Chain A
Amino acid sequence: DSGVTQTPKHLITATGQRVTLRCSPRSGDLSVYWYQQSLDQGLQFLIHYYNGEERAKGNILERFSAQQFPDLHSELNLSSLELGDSALYFCASSVDIGLYLTDTQYFGPGTRLTVL
Chain B
Amino acid sequence: DAKTTQPTSMDCAEGRAANLPCNHSTISGNEYVYWYRQIHSQGPQYIIHGLKNNETNEMASLIITEDRKSSTLILPHATLRDTAVYYCIVRVAAAGNKLTFGGGTRVLVKP
Which A residues lie at the B interface, using CB under 8 A?
2, 4, 31, 33, 35, 42-45, 48, 55-56, 58, 88, 90, 92, 94, 96, 99, 101-110, 112
CB distance from B49 to the nearest CB of A (A): 7
Task: Tell me, in angstroms, the Cα distance from A41 to B75 when the chains sit together.
Answer: 28
CB-defined contacts of A35 to chain B, threshold 8 Å: 99
Chain B residue, CB-CB nearest to A107 = B43
Tell me the nearest residue of chain A to B50, going by C-beta.
Answer: A102
Point out the residues of chain B lying under 8 angstroms from A102, CB to CB. 32, 49
Return B89 CB to nearest CB of chain A, in Å. 10
Within 8 A of A (CB), among B19-61: 30-32, 34, 38, 41-46, 49, 51
Is B96 among interface residues, defined by CB-CB distance under 8 A? yes
**6 A–B contacts, CB within 8 A, in A order:** A2-B46, A33-B98, A42-B103, A56-B95, A99-B97, A109-B43
Hey, which chain A residues are within 8 Å of B91, CB to CB?
A: 101
Q: Name A's interface SS.
A: strand
In the complex, which residue of chain B has the Cβ closest to the Cβ of A46? B98
Main secondary structure of the interface of B (DSSP, over half): loop
A-B CB pair tally, cutoff 8 Å: 68
In the complex, what residues of A have CB within 8 A of residue B95's CB? 56
A5 to nearest B CB, angstroms? Answer: 11
Interface contact B93-A99, CB-CB below 8 Å: yes
Determine if A48 and B101 form an interchain contact, defined as CB atoms under 8 angstroms apart: no
Q: Which residue on chain B has the smallest CB distance to residue A48?
A: B96
Decide: B97 and A94 in contact? CB cutoff 8 A. yes
Query: Is the pair B98, A101 in contact by a Cβ cutoff of 8 Å?
Result: no
From B44, B93, B96, A101 is in contact (CB under 8 Å) with B93
10 shortest A-B CB distances, which residue pairs? A56-B96, A107-B43, A43-B101, A45-B98, A107-B44, A48-B96, A109-B43, A101-B93, A99-B93, A110-B43
